[in-house]
Amino acid sequence: MMTGTQDWQETRCAVLSPPEVTGFVEEVVGLVSNVTVPCFASDALRSLAINHADNKSRIGEAGGVTLVLAAMQKNRTNATVQEHACGALRSLSANHAENQTRIAEAGGVGLVLAAMRTHKTSTGVLEKACAALCCFSARHAENKSRIGEAGGVTLVLWVMRAHDTSSGVQEQACAALCCFSANHAANQTRIGEAGGVDVVLAAMRAHDTSTGVQEEACGALCCFSTNHAANQTRIGEAGGVALVLTAMRAHDTSSGVQEKACAALCCFSANHAANKSRIGEAGGVDVVLSAMRAHKMNAGVQRQACLALQRMCVNHAANKTRIVEAGGIDLVLLAMHVHETSAGVQETGRAALRNLSHSNSAVDARTTTQR
């Protein structure tokens, strides 16, 4: 039996075998009432779970989720315990559907939201809590609904307004909003009606030098606007197009910013004539093509850029002309050549070429010859 904080620190840093993982979790269950022990225990579980699917499963099956949630319940007023516990829940749930479900069914969503309300001045708790909510809801429709119905959207937006100077909080909150709203119409609407577009755009203005904030904000705007006309309009009218293009210019070496920004431009312009015009008139075509030139070996950037070009030019003659005259056809063909094994690049590249050549015989002849 381990008896002190030094032992917990050593355990946290150790590499445990599968039986030892199970034994460790069983052992810490009996010590959860001590304030110091849960912090070290949560850190140990977090360390074991990071990027290790088997350990996530072992910890979940051995009661690790229950342990962390019990620590949160017994130490509700202790910010340190709450922060460390949220960090552990984030690691346990990241890309692990079973633990996402375990956490939610055991009341984890409510406990994390309660921690945010209780410790509303602690940026450490709020940052870790937003990150945990992001991981709970990623590709998990039921958890997205739980969070939305429990007031999670409103709470995250309140946190962003209250801690507008913290880049860490803004980054993790944007990531959380992205996960809440991805493929979830109800949360998209909640975010839009609660002023979420303005809050995210304010984060982009306030943290224009932060690559992390710009990347996650672009991702959030993309998720807000996917197949959601009202949010597309909100973003366009609030200056979102210009801010995304500014982010691309300012962070031109960041493949993450370029990929998510291209995805955002794609979502803004899908079936939205006014946003297509905004993008074209603000120089968006040149910015996207610059991203393709600068990141020609990055399949993710090329795929999203091709998709953005395709959406920009559908039923929009001016953007089609801009793309062709700026060398867009050559760049799409180059992307398809360089990434010939990428199904995503091939699919979006062909779609872009089809739309560029539609009703334009000269372009059609050129693309047919060069493909």
Number of H helices, E strands in the chain: 25, 0
Q: Are 212 and 257 in contact (CB under 8 A)?
A: no
DSSP, collapsed to helix, strand or coil, labels residue 40 as helix
Question: How does residue 157 score in pLDDT terms, banded at 50, 70 and 90?
Answer: very high
> Could you tell me the two tokens for 180?
């809440």
Cα separation, 188 vs 225, whole angstroms = 8
Q: Which of 308, 309, 297, 313 is nearest to 267 (CA)?
A: 308
- The 10 Å Cβ neighbour count of residue 185 is 11
Output the CA angle 104-110-111, nearest 5 degrees.
100
In this structure, the dihedral spanned by the alpha carbons of residues 172, 177, 178 and 184, taken in order and rounded to 10 degrees, is 160
Question: How does residue 28 score in pLDDT terms, banded at 50, 70 and 90?
Answer: low
Cα separation, 241 vs 261, whole angstroms = 10
- Cα-to-chain-centroid distance, residue 226: 14
pLDDT score, position 11: 40
pLDDT score, position 120: 98
> Could you tell me the two tokens for 302?
């090329």
Q: Are 54 and 95 in contact (CB under 8 A)?
A: no
Q: Where are the domains of the chain?
A: 1-150, 164-282, 288-371
Question: How does residue 79 score in pLDDT terms, banded at 50, 70 and 90?
Answer: very high
CA-atom Rg of the chain in angstroms: 23
Superfamily of domain 1-150: Leucine-rich Repeat Variant (1.25.10.10)
Predicted confidence (pLDDT) at residue 371 exceeds the cutoff of 90: no
Q: pLDDT tens digits for 316-339?
A: 999 999 999 999 999 999 999 999
Cα separation, 113 vs 139, whole angstroms = 20
Q: pLDDT tens digits for 279-304?
A: 999 999 999 999 999 999 999 999 99
pLDDT score, position 224: 97
Q: Which of 37, 45, 42, 48 is nearest to 7 (CA)?
A: 37
Q: pLDDT tens digits for 224-242?
A: 999 999 999 999 999 999 9
**Average of per-residue pLDDT across 123-133:** 98
Question: How does residue 7 score in pLDDT terms, banded at 50, 70 and 90?
Answer: very low
